[in-house]
Structure 1
């Protein structure tokens, strides 16, 4: 018996193969706002974008029926209501200036006016940067549109409460 035990102690164990690294699933593209953390008593009113006073005369505030060639909104992400503001019952608005680039993306976002100051600015800028537009077309080519403005209102809706 001692001889078999000695063989067992001297035998080399085969090394296991290292496991293959797990494949990472593709990251989902978020096109809609995450509303899972928003209470039913909070709503954010997202108005239309002012495209320099252009109007199609049909009462279409969103500009969906604007003249051919103008930038039209495709994706709008609503800003999240800041927890502190909701807890304190604060309401307000932010007026932002931005540029629509040739690809329809939003860039150069700046706060023009905010009431109360600095309370809603960060969430308003974050949401606006995710908006997408069909860019303005001039002579068959997309062009940048500078100095666009939008007002985002932050209001608590107590009617559903």
Structure 2
């Protein structure tokens, strides 16, 4: 049934489109048409822009070099070859503690990334400034773990929790001893909160 309805609607639409296109021999009505006025522009005379005259470059002064007398130098050198022998040198062994020879250096931990902590809402609403000191353990890969809050001033404004969250994002170059990364416990970091 739906197929029959679709065929009927398609046939009706097709007939309507043909009727709209086909002319019945009627001459189109020209009374209702409007003519668009021609665009008029005044005649212009093309003028050539005068080129900016540049001053002439002064001629280069002729450089007169003084003539130097050539001297012919002749040296009378003996043609006999001289043979020298070097004296044997003593060998010295130095032990300067380079380890196994892989040129690994011992380094201390260096902060690479220090994030800015979010300012606590409670302190921001009351216009308070403060600081928090945290203690962390730097891992062998340079990450941070075991964050402990040591000091917070003023208390109960959220500076400690904001500092703990920021301390978890700290990144360090780890301490290296004999070419191996070493954990560093007890590293303290102070986060200062200031309104600007």
Question: CA 1:6 to 1:153, structure 2 compared with 1: closer, same or farther past 3 Å?
Answer: closer
- Equivalent in the alignment of 1:133: 172
Give the Cα–Cα distance (whole angstroms) in 2 for the partners of residues 148 and 109 of structure 1. 10
- Map residues 63-82 of structure 1 onto 2, 5 A cutoff: 69-82=107-120
Which of the pair has more CA radius of gyration?
2
Give TM-score, length-normalised by structure 1. Answer: 0.55
Aligned length: 96
The reply on whether 1:114 has 2:187 as its aligned counterpart is no
- Equivalent in the alignment of 2:122: 84
Question: CA 1:88 to 1:138, structure 2 compared with 1: closer, same or farther past 3 Å?
Answer: same
Shift of 1:92: 0.9
Runs of 5+ unmatched residues, structure 1: 9-66
- Calculate the aligned-residue CA RMSD, in Å: 1.9
Which deviations, in whole Å up to 9, do the C-alpha atoms of 1:52-108 show, x marking residues without a partner? Answer: xxxxxxxxxxxxxxx950011111111011122111011111011111000100111
Give the Cα–Cα distance (whole angstroms) in 2 for the partners of residues 6 and 76 of structure 1. 70
More strand by share: 1
Question: CA 1:156 to 1:142, structure 2 compared with 1: closer, same or farther past 3 Å?
Answer: same
Greater relative contact order structure (CA < 8 Å, 6+ sep) = 1
Question: CA 1:87 to 1:141, structure 2 compared with 1: closer, same or farther past 3 Å?
Answer: same
Give TM-score, length-normalised by structure 2. Answer: 0.46
